[in-house]
Chain A
Amino acid sequence: MLLTNIEGIPGRKIIEHFGLVSGSTVRAKNAFKDIGASFKNIVGGELKSYTALMDESRSQAVERMEQQAQQLGANAIINVRFSTSNIAQGAAELYVYGTAVRIE
């Protein structure tokens, strides 16, 4: 599965459009990791466990989007966009969407 966030795939020709595909996941943070994070809130710096958590969740959302595209018979997704929203205290939704296409 080829993904880009531009309109089309450079050097390849799009032969069929399948419309919008999307994937999302809602994740809550781990209370134990949160204890470590609250220490970091005093001294500042990167919250590595959260970076990893967000990265992993985002990969899952992308995977779900790819599955959806595969079912449609697409082999690429163009114009991919990410969006993140805080839906509740301590939980975030990671949403990714794009246009499924078939390329040569």
Chain B
Amino acid sequence: MGDLIYLIILIGVGYFIGTLVEKKHYKSIEEREAKLLYLPAVSSENLLEEKMVNEAHLVYGNAVISTDYFKFILAGLRNLLGGEVCAFETLLDRARREAILRLKEKAQGADIILNLRVETCQISQVGSIEVLAYGTAVYYKK
């Protein structure tokens, strides 16, 4: 009985604080994305204005993000029936957008990010993942 109460408390805390944390994170992501709109990131290697390049170097950004206990249990239940695991979709979305934002923040002043690659790695069994985004920041001649 004690275990059950403990579990319910964990799920409850996970649900309320987790939702709050996620909302706050999304708000911050959207704000920063709007600020960095001037810097396009493309997954293509081709550069249209080859002659104008002044400098190019590698940049990368990473983020390790964990899901909350409520969603972790929800995903576990989903595993029984199969189908789309919406609980983890937002986790991956947040981590990817955060990693790309950090990459762009490191490349401030650049004109374009070429060959952007995103890589995902599982950190632990309990629903935390690492996302790494890397690309080449290109600075045009002014």
Check if A and B associate.
Answer: yes
> B-facing mask of A16-44, CB < 8 A → 1, else 0?
00000000000000000000011011111
Q: Which residues of B contact A58 (CB under 8 A)?
A: 60, 62, 132
A71 is an interface residue with CB less than 8 A from chain B? no
Is A11 within 8 A of B132, CB to CB? no
Query: Per-residue 0/1 for B107-142: is the Cβ within 8 Å of any A Cβ (1 yes, 0 no)?
Result: 000000011010101111111101010111010000
| Chain B, 45-98, CB within 8 A of any chain A CB | 45, 47, 50-51, 53-58, 60, 62-69, 71-72, 98
- Judged by a CB distance under 8 angstroms, whether B13 is at the interface is yes
Q: Are A44 and B117 in contact (CB under 8 A)?
A: no
Chain B minimum-CB-distance residue to A2: B57
Task: Check A41 against B62 for contact (C-beta < 8 Å).
Answer: no
Within 26-76 of A, Cβ neighbours of B (below 8 Å) are at 37-38, 40-48, 50-51, 54-55, 58
C-alpha spacing A45/B90, complex, angstroms: 12
Is A5 a contact of B130 with CB atoms below 8 Å? Answer: no
**Across-interface contacts of A10 in B (CB, < 8 A):** 47, 50, 53, 56, 138
Give the bracket for the number of chain B residues in contact with chain A. 35 or more
- B8 interface residue per 8 A CB criterion: no
Determine whether the beta carbon of A85 is less than 8 Å from that of B121.
Answer: yes
The answer, among B13, B50, B64, B126, for a CB contact under 8 Å with A11, is B50
Which secondary structure characterizes the binding site on chain B?
A: strand
> Cβ of A47 and Cβ of B65 under 8 Å apart?
yes
State in angstroms the CA–CA spacing of A50 and B128 once bound together: 10
Q: CA–CA, A84 to B72, complex, Å?
A: 23
A70: min CB distance to chain B, Å: 16
Closest Cβ–Cβ distance, residue B49 to chain A (whole Å): 9
Residues of chain B lying within 8 A (CB to CB) of residue A11: 50-51, 53-56
A90→B126 CA distance, assembly (Å):
12
Residue positions of A touching B, CB distance < 8 A: 2-7, 9-11, 37-38, 40-48, 50-51, 54-55, 58, 80-86, 89-90, 92
Q: What would be 10 A-B contacts, judged by CB atoms less than 8 Å apart? A: A4-B57, A11-B51, A11-B53, A11-B55, A40-B128, A41-B69, A42-B10, A44-B17, A45-B18, A45-B65
Given contacts A5-B58, A50-B64, A80-B134, could you give 10 more A-B pairs where the C-beta distance is less than 8 Å? Answer: A4-B56, A4-B136, A40-B66, A44-B68, A46-B98, A50-B130, A54-B132, A55-B62, A90-B124, A92-B123
